[in-house]
Amino acid sequence: MSSRLLQAALLSAVFISSPSWADAPPFVNASSQWQFALTPYIWLPSVDGSLRFSLPGNGEADASTGPYNYWQNLRFAAMLQGEARKGNWSIFADAIYLDFGNHSTSVQTKGSGVLERQSEGSGETSFKGGLFQLGGGYTIVQLPRVALDAVTGIRYLAVRSSLDATLQATIGAPGPNFNPEIHVSQNADIYDGFAGVRGRVSLTDDGRWYVPFYLDVGTGTSDFTWQAMSGIAYAMKWGDVTLVYRYLAFYGSSDQLVQSLRFKGPALSVTFRF
């Protein structure tokens, strides 16, 4: 997916607005009127994982990606959440775009022409990723201090990564050493369905201070994906301020670019209700 399309997907979340999934379901309004909210946020994840690049001649190159230093490697980031709610029902969306620069990595190759034997080397990887989630929820628990939604939806991850590496290989045994170079760039589109719960537990009688939480698991293009979030939030008349820790992971099969990819770190959000 191109950067332009990723940014378009990001902007489309503006039109699917209301209380963010990270803030969890508000206590249901008995009037059953439409409620909306828009949540810009800052998530500072550490990004790490492993990638498997395809090489000419049916070869493979395994490389780690990250952990990226957010302040040194990040080139661009944009994040937005939104939701629409009526009574017990809700629709929510989340969009993220991250662009990291080069990061040093170790590389292993096998099965590619003169590199039929496993070779090792060092190099750099770069990573661009766009995440778009769209889902729906239904309130299944509504108590004076606890609210809980069952949620389901689809998660789309677009990944573009490149590898530039120099290998240390040997022809024959003992054979001469040589240092072939690898320059490869690949894209991956990952579509996963998910199901889970989100909710909030009020810490005070007036409900202003509360603990939001979220958990989902899923599969699809990935063999397995899961996401978890919790923290602390404060509610005001116009909206909420939330500080949470968020973890998101993808685990792919042996023939996919993304073998594993993990995003984890704190997130600060401001929800505007209308």
Give the CATH number of the domain where residue 202 resides.
Answer: 2.40.128.90
Residue 161's domain comprises: 3-273
pTM of the complete model = 0.80
pLDDT of residue 26: 52
Which residues lie closer than 8 Å to 167 by C-beta, 6 or more apart? 107, 109, 115, 119, 120, 121, 179, 180, 181, 182
What does the alpha-carbon distance between residue 169 and residue 119 come to, in Å, rounded to a whole number?
5
What does the alpha-carbon distance between residue 146 and residue 132 come to, in Å, rounded to a whole number?
28
pLDDT of residue 230: 97
> For each of the chain's 274 residues, which pLDDT tens digit applies?
444 433 333 333 333 333 344 455 554 454 578 899 999 998 888 888 888 888 776 678 888 776 665 556 666 677 899 999 999 999 999 998 888 766 677 777 776 555 455 566 677 777 788 999 999 999 999 999 999 999 999 999 998 888 887 766 555 544 455 556 778 888 999 999 999 999 999 999 998 999 999 999 999 999 999 999 999 999 998 899 999 999 999 999 888 989 999 989 999 999 998 8
What does the alpha-carbon distance between residue 66 and residue 103 come to, in Å, rounded to a whole number?
6
On the CB side of 74, how many CA atoms lie within 13 Å of its CA?
A: 13
Identify which of 130, 126, 186 has the alpha carbon closest to the alpha carbon of residue 158: 130
Contact at 8 Å (CB) between 270 and 241?
A: yes
pLDDT of residue 97: 86
Contact at 8 Å (CB) between 87 and 28?
A: yes
Tally the domains of the chain: 1
